[in-house]
Chain A
Amino acid sequence: MKYLEEFQDPALARRLLDQIHATVTRPWALMEVCGGQTHSIIRHGIDQLLPDEVELIHGPGCPVCVTPLEVIDKALEIASRPGVVFCSFGDMLRVPGTGRDLFQVRSEGGDVRVVYSPLDALRIAQENPRSEVVFFGIGFETTAPPNAMTVHQAKRLGVRNFSLLVSHVRVPPAIEAIMGSPDCRVDAFLAAGHVCSVMGTDEYPELADRFRVPIVVTGFEPLDILEGVRRSVAQLERGEHTVENAYARAVRPEGNPAAKAMLADIFEVTDRAWRGIGVIPGSGWRLAARYREFDAEHRFSVEGIDTKEPAECRSGEVLQGLLKPHQCEAFGTLCTPRTPLGATMVSSEGACAAYYLYRRLGGTQAPAPVEASPVG
């Protein structure tokens, strides 16, 4: 594919790595915001190739991981109801709520379907006028526009049996929260390229200034990530803290005005709980009041669900960069993708799952053969 293999070229990667090695003089901690970047870093082994001085901290940018338990439980409750067709992106199906996941709801008779676009869910609603069709609208600024578009279309077409269970989150408030944390040790951010392709870069200069932190808009292929690291390290070594766009083939400063206008029409900014972190002010979107009829929480009145999270895992420290996934005592023993203790072990974008899949070899403990045996 054009723009895919070109950005995985080993010779060019080596050149970027050489430049990073030549530039760095002291330790720096860089946070890649997006789970897709974490996945790419671990999948290609990029962090193993960087100088020891450059540490990558995996940020809370995995939409599956940060969707609050309360919302998962609402999804499970709605999906269990007769007459409901519950549509979701695939990787939400295995995220544990209180005691079960959407796969189990499906095995108990719930009509849970994996779709590739929210518009597919709208089509299902049109084809099944006697069913209530709900789409699980989660994710960052990347997945929000198509979900907004779907609500827009539902209203335009008068599809009354469609609704959206919304738990959208926004990146800039999360960066603000991380930098405001007393234990923060992030020196620079690799901002999520796809988020910026929608929202542009306007939200970042103020953050870079206030926290004196370089923010480099970064893509997802190995060369993109290395270029983001190279520019971040160069800024840090020079003592600068500006916003740079290292993903210019996809990101314009103004973003995508049509998508932003759609977001502004359909959604309104709200405080949002992030799974385990708690509420980050202004960090989410909900449906605007005038679209309330399409809000699944309103339609199904799923209030007062009793959520329960046992306090055993340390994913908060992982997301803050205070702990690497394999340094957690539960990692690979109590906590595996088969038996996740935390959502970070569920999605392939989650830091713990990424470590489990690709990095157990380099972990501190010798791999237990039983883990790789068919016994699981």
Chain B
Amino acid sequence: MADITAPAQVSVPAPAAPDFSGWTCPAPLRDLPRIVMGHGGGGALSAELVEHVFAPAFAGPALSGLGDSAHLELGGARMAFSTDSFVVRPLFFPGGSIGDLAVNGTVNDIAMSGARAAYLSCGFILEEGVSVEVVARVAEAMGAAARTAGVEIATGDTKVVESGHGDGIYVNTAGIGLIPDGVDIRPQRAVPGDVVIVSGPIGQHGVAILSVREGLEFGVEIQSDCAALGGLVQTMLDVTRDVHVLRDPTRGGLAASLNEIAAAAGVGVVLQENRVPVPPEVANACAILGLDPMYVANEGKLVAFVPRGEAEAVLAAMRAHPLGAGAAVIGECVEDHPGMVVARTALGGTRVVDLPLGEQLPRIC
């Protein structure tokens, strides 16, 4: 290496005034002719795909809610029905596996309607060459998760695709559960005055996955929070049936869930940023990667909108449950700025917490 301490200078003419008025703009990329990863990110691109492609094609009254689960009436019973596909890589990660996610994800989608999942279906898409031992471990994890959640896997299907056409194992689950009488939980029910509660520290699942996927080490191992939330929801409903909204902030994180609720109900949401529980190891990992914990996925947390008068009792009941020990009031529902989520920063400023576009991208520096 040359022994110089400053880069070699080429001749530098006197600086011409830059033409700032010439700042021109790239063509807007309005029309994406193909699916990009962001279409699966749970943000604005995902919503556009549903809105413009799936909903018009499927149009039916049952679909109109577009919530985590559909609310159906069949033979006089009210049911929550939901499905989810799991394409996580790696298959096993600190705190869980694709099997745990496949059960808990669908159980939680149903729990967010106040229902207790009763039966699950399960579809496997296996890649040629994946070891049977790995498939068995995933199946065992699913069985164990189902027993913990008190749900029965009642039907299933298996397909195999050629080597190179899958990531080892993809799993789809669907589930169904009864909605108790007097319970009506959906995003549209958020009203000004509701208190916003989160069931515990956020961001653990996304950071756990990132740490193993990208081989990043943060000094301490961060475990996924993957868990079934049916029991916690039951505990809350034992306090009051008048829980207005429940949502499990998975893809897109807390920010996406709150934006969806604000938009669906036409209300504003105000957060006190320093009340949102973020574990130090998650905060550190996010600081290093340039991510915002509010947008990082959770798999064992819920956010609840409850009437102010019930908030204290609901919070106490949540904290008495093992999966709600870290529950905290993080904000409230307001009449101002309908459809928008606003955070008050620790310093006393405010900022809009927007719906993420697609994938959250690590910043360059």
Query: Do chains A and B stick together as partners?
Result: yes
In the assembled complex, the CB of B293 is this many whole angstroms from the nearest CB of chain A, namely: 12
Which of A257, A271, A309 sits near B24, CB closer than 8 Å? A309
Report Cα–Cα, A265/B2, bound state, in Å: 5
Is the CB–CB distance between A278 and B19 below 8 Å?
Answer: yes
B1: chain A residues within 8 A (beta carbon): 152, 261-262, 265
| Residue B325 interfacial (CB < 8 Å) | no
Is the CB–CB distance between B10 and A277 below 8 Å?
Answer: no
Is the CB–CB distance between B357 and A264 below 8 Å?
Answer: no
Report Cα–Cα, A74/B351, bound state, in Å: 36
Within 8 A of A (CB), among B1-50: 1-10, 12-30, 32-38, 44-45, 47-48, 50
Is the CB–CB distance between A142 and B349 below 8 Å?
Answer: no
| Number of A-B pairs, beta carbon distance below 8 Å | 292
Is the CB–CB distance between B35 and A63 below 8 Å?
Answer: no
Interface class of chain B by DSSP: loop
Is the CB–CB distance between A374 and B263 below 8 Å?
Answer: yes
B361: chain A residues within 8 A (beta carbon): 90-91, 93-94, 114, 348
Which of B18, B284, B357 sits near A274, CB closer than 8 Å? B18
A5: chain B residues within 8 A (beta carbon): 283
Tally of chain B residues near chain A (CB < 8 A): 78
Is the CB–CB distance between B12 and A348 below 8 Å?
Answer: no
In the assembled complex, the CB of B270 is this many whole angstroms from the nearest CB of chain A, namely: 10
**Known A-B contacts A359-B352, A372-B262, A372-B355; A342 and B23 likewise in contact (beta carbons under 8 Å):** yes
Is the CB–CB distance between B18 and A264 below 8 Å?
Answer: no
The chain A residue sitting closest to B52, CB to CB, is A375
Within 8 A of A (CB), among B82-114: none
In the assembled complex, the CB of B43 is this many whole angstroms from the nearest CB of chain A, namely: 8
| Residue A294 interfacial (CB < 8 Å) | no
| Residue A139 interfacial (CB < 8 Å) | yes
Which of B35, B337, B349 sits near A367, CB closer than 8 Å? B337
Is the CB–CB distance between B352 and A374 below 8 Å?
Answer: no
Q: Which of B122-130, B150-158, B339-347 lies at the interface with chain A?
A: B339-347
Which of B28, B33, B284, B338 sits near A341, CB closer than 8 Å? B28
Is the CB–CB distance between B20 and A334 below 8 Å?
Answer: no
**Known A-B contacts A4-B287, A317-B20, A349-B363; A99 and B349 likewise in contact (beta carbons under 8 Å):** no
Is the CB–CB distance between A106 and B24 below 8 Å?
Answer: no
Is the CB–CB distance between B347 and A13 below 8 Å?
Answer: yes
Is the CB–CB distance between B18 and A177 below 8 Å?
Answer: yes
In the assembled complex, the CB of A360 is this many whole angstroms from the nearest CB of chain B, namely: 5
Report Cα–Cα, A106/B287, bound state, in Å: 27
Which of A46, A268, A274 sits near B8, CB closer than 8 Å? A268
A269: chain B residues within 8 A (beta carbon): 7-10, 12
Report Cα–Cα, A97/B349, bound state, in Å: 35
A173: chain B residues within 8 A (beta carbon): 12, 15
> B: which residues have CB within 8 A of A?
1-10, 12-30, 32-38, 44-45, 47-48, 50-51, 66, 214, 216, 259-260, 262-263, 266, 280, 283-284, 287, 289-290, 337-342, 345-352, 354-355, 357, 361-365
With A315-B25, A369-B263 already in contact, 11 other A-B pairs whose C-beta atoms are closer than 8 Å: A44-B347, A48-B350, A49-B347, A63-B364, A64-B364, A103-B37, A180-B15, A269-B12, A282-B9, A359-B352, A360-B340
> A: which residues have CB within 8 A of B?
1, 4-5, 8, 10, 13, 36, 39, 42-49, 63-64, 69, 72, 89-101, 103-104, 106-108, 114, 116, 138-140, 142-143, 152, 173, 176-178, 180-183, 194, 222, 257, 260-265, 267-271, 274-278, 280-282, 285, 288, 308-320, 322, 334-335, 337-343, 347-349, 356-362, 367, 369-376
